Amino acid sequence: MNLRATLRLAIQALVRNKARSLLTMLGIVIGVAAVIVTVAIGAGARVSVQQSIASLGSNLIVVQPGSVTQGGVRTGFGGASSLTPQDGLAIAQLPGVAAVSPIVSVRSQVVAGGNNWQTQITGVAPTYTFIKAWALASGRFLSESDVASIAKVAVLGQTVVTQLFPNGESPIGKTVIIKGSPFTVIGTMTALGQSGMGQDQDDVVLIPYSSAMERLTGLTTVNLLMISAATAAQVNPVQSEVVSLLARRHRITPPQPYDFQVRNLQAFAQAASSTGTVMELLLAGVAAVSLLVGGIGIMNIMMVSVTERTREIGLRMAVGARARSILNQFLTESIVLSTIGGLIGVVVGVLGTILVALLAKWPTLIPPGWIFASVGFSAMVGIFFGYYPAQKAAHLSPIEALRFE
Amino acid sequence: MGGVVEVRNLRKIYPMGDDEVVALGGVDLSIERGEFIAVMGPSGSGKSTFMQIVGMLDRATAGSYSFEGRDVAALTDDERADIRSRRLGFVFQSYNLLPRTSALENVELPMVYAGVPEARRLDIALEKMDIVGIKSLADHMPNQMSGGQQQRIAIARSLVNDPALILADEPTGALDTKTSRDVMRIFSDLNATRDITIMLVTHEPDIAAFAKRIVTFRDGHILSDVPNVKRAA
Ligand SMILES: Nc1ncnc2c1ncn2[C@@H]1O[C@H](COP(=O)(O)OP(=O)(O)OP(=O)(O)O)[C@@H](O)[C@H]1O
Ligand SMILES: [Mg+2]
């Protein structure tokens, strides 16, 4: 018997038992749909974590002051006042460094006309927009001459714009008072939304770091140095270069502890991504178990079907069917059953994923490989769980099968 | 006239727990082309057992059996399946049609396994259905047909591969007298006009009366083997 005849025979047999075939498929349908939905949610979550990490800044390296010990009491990181803008300039000369910006942070009340608002005042360099990959919404950003002239200019985040200029007028050219000093607004930033940690990233006023030091903190040191490596591959080499450069500049010799701390986000990104992978595998594993249960359902029904159709098998053998034809017939039935179940499962899974994305607003992503893999896997489930019943049918003796009551 | 079946000292023993049942205790029989044999005998005398072995649905315990000159004991299961497919036709007491399958598809079934191209199957099936007078029932399902009609479908099915021998175990056992006689007339015609060799089992003398030769079994042996002198028409 050729493949087409066998396939037609299998489909005929399945159509003759529509209700049962559909119920048998249900196990596979649910299994495959579960695989698709769980993988889509897992992959979606991973991608969104990666994106939020990327939004923190590309190839970012952060230098913080280290801890100091005063009379036996150790401060945490940031306790030492050791980082200067000159450190930043020196780092900018290192190979593989794309940009450096000192960061000076102060919380302060900001007043504009009749409105006031407490927000984060951050002193930065003109490179800050590049390091944060943050675009300007209107006006211009801080320039090198603003830094050099310790200019009283400010760029506002969107939250600050809405709080201080609630009537929708343009803030450009207006004056805001920060700690008694008037600053001229020269630009506004695009909205970034919440950070991965739930902070409002738009609740900020950006001013030249020199102005922040001179007019707000009165210090010669800065809170942070943000460094952007030219490429992801250069993050680690640049980091060790920064460590040795700063150790030299701060005249630290081992075993003296460093008075600074250098970190990058890659380790964090990797950890987050591998957690995502573990979650995804776990979900897929659970889904695969339900596929397996679907397979056992197929085997169960095929066993029943073989027993029920013993006389049919006997008759087919009497009119000339070889054992192989009988085996193929039942195996094909089970493969067709599981493959159609798999295809329906993919459709249900994709619809379910769309529903999850729409209703729960979760990020989802269906890797196309998983669609082929789950249909292929269901076909394999059909072969694996259909083989034993088919084998049983093929090995019946014709006369015993015919005599079967 | 060449020999179709040549059986010598055929034995079949069924184990029954510690005991055994001797269903056939040494049977000798030759069937020539064109014969029409009725097998008779009391219940349990081994008639069905003999038919099943001749039909290669079962294997003998001992003795020799050659079919069209081939030693059947030496054949593999696949070779026996191929001979059943091309050289043998079966008709059963209970018809054994595939349920929920049209008459036409039932008749076509042996040709599917014999590898007859699809286009030719329909022609052959309709031709054989015409011979047994049920061409008009081609689209009917078995459960929409009378016993006599179903048995005719089964006979048409046994004919499609032009077998050397048709084996029928009590083909009229489930039919009324009138229908039984109609079915027997079909066998008679096939034997007379198409020279098809037929061996059938029956308990009824007036059914056996259609055959040309009557073989009687008792306790696993052949009691008598005589030509039928008073043939029915
Ligand atoms: N599968 C089997 N296992 C054990 N014994 C069997 C089996 N088949 C048949 N027999 C025994 O073999 C003997 C012959 O049985 P068989 O069916 O050939 O008789 P029969 O002549 O066809 O009878 P009937 O006219 O009732 O159909 C009987 O004693 C029966 O009990
Ligand atoms: Mg019998």
CATH number of residue B150's parent domain:
3.40.50.300
Whether the CB-CB separation of A318 and B84 falls below 8 Å is answered with yes
CB contact under 8 A, A322 and B100: no
E-strand spans in A83-128? 97-112, 115-124
Both A106 and A253 in one domain: the answer is yes
CB contact under 8 A, B82 and A322: yes
- To the question of pTM greater than 0.80 for the whole model, the response is no
Both A76 and A209 in one domain: the answer is yes
Atom of ligand 1 at shortest range from CA of B16: 4
Both A143 and A286 in one domain: the answer is no
Whether the CB-CB separation of A225 and A139 falls below 8 Å is answered with no
B contacts of A314 (beta carbons < 8 Å): 96
Domain boundary among A213, A248, A264: A264
Reported confidence tier of residue B1, pLDDT bands at 50, 70, 90:
very low
Of all residues in chain B, the one with the smallest CA distance to A317 is: B81
CA angle in degrees (0–180, nearest 5) for A234-A237-A243 = 130
Both A203 and A70 in one domain: the answer is yes
Tell me, yes or no, whether B152 lies in a domain. yes
Nearest to B47 by CA among B171, B218, B228: B218
Q: What is the pLDDT of residues B153-204, one digit of tens each?
A: 999 999 999 999 999 999 999 899 999 999 999 999 999 998 899 999 999 9
Give the separation between CA A331 and CA A337, rounded to whole angstroms.
10
Both A80 and A228 in one domain: the answer is yes
Both A341 and A208 in one domain: the answer is no
pLDDT score at A91:
92
Both A174 and A245 in one domain: the answer is yes
CB pairs under 8 A between A and B: 62
Sign of CA dihedral A384, A385, A386, A390: positive
Tell me, yes or no, whether B155 lies in a domain. yes
Tell me, yes or no, whether B233 lies in a domain. no
Tokens of A199: 């902070």
**How far away is chain A from the Cα of B85, in angstroms, using its nearest Cα?**
4
Of all residues in chain A, the one with the smallest CA distance to B157 is: A319
Domain boundary among A264, A293, A323: A264
CB-ligand 1 contact for B43 (6 Å cutoff): yes
How far apart, in Å, are the Cα atoms of A24 and each of A7, A287, A348, A380? 18, 17, 16, 16
- Residue A155's H or E segment, with its range, is strand A153-156
Q: What is the pLDDT of residues A211-228, one digit of tens each?
A: 999 988 888 889 999 999
Based on the structure, what is the number of domains in chain B? Answer: 1
Based on the structure, what is the number of domains in chain A? Answer: 2
Pairing mode of beta strands A153-156, A181-189: parallel
Q: Partners of A106 in the beta sheet?
A: A121
Tell me, yes or no, whether B169 lies in a domain. yes
Lowest mean pLDDT among A49-63, A95-109, B46-60, B94-108: A49-63
The domain of B134 spans: 3-227
Q: Looking at the partner chain, which of B57, B157, B161 has a beta carbon nearest the beta carbon of A398?
A: B57
Give the separation between CA A384 and CA A381, rounded to whole angstroms.
5
Give the separation between CA A86 and CA A220, rounded to whole angstroms.
10
A5 CB near a chain B CB, below 8 Å?
Answer: yes
Both A126 and A165 in one domain: the answer is yes
Helix axis angle, B77-87 to A323-359, nearest 10°: 100
Tell me, yes or no, whether B46 lies in a domain. yes
Both A164 and A180 in one domain: the answer is yes
Sign of CA dihedral A59, A64, A66, A67: negative
Both A240 and A294 in one domain: the answer is no
- Print pLDDT tens along chain A (405 aa): 678 888 888 888 888 888 989 988 998 898 889 888 888 888 888 777 777 766 666 688 889 887 665 556 665 555 556 789 999 999 999 999 999 999 999 999 999 988 899 999 999 999 999 988 889 999 999 999 999 999 999 999 999 999 999 988 899 999 999 998 999 999 999 998 876 666 788 999 999 999 999 988 888 889 999 999 888 788 889 999 999 898 888 888 777 788 888 888 776 667 777 777 777 788 778 877 888 888 888 888 889 989 999 999 999 999 999 999 999 999 999 999 999 999 999 999 999 999 988 988 888 888 888 888 888 988 998 999 999 999 999 999 999 999 887
Give the separation between CA A351 and CA A348, rounded to whole angstroms.
5
Both A66 and A89 in one domain: the answer is yes
Omega cis (within 30) before A171: no
Both A132 and A230 in one domain: the answer is yes
The domain of A187 spans: 60-264
Among all bound ligands, the one having the nearest atom to the CA of B168 is: 2
Domain boundary among A226, A242, A264: A264
Q: Is B64 helix (H, G, I), strand (E, B) or coil?
A: strand
ipTM > 0.90?
yes
Give the separation between CA A284 and CA A129, rounded to whole angstroms.
40
Give the separation between CA A184 and CA A166, rounded to whole angstroms.
18
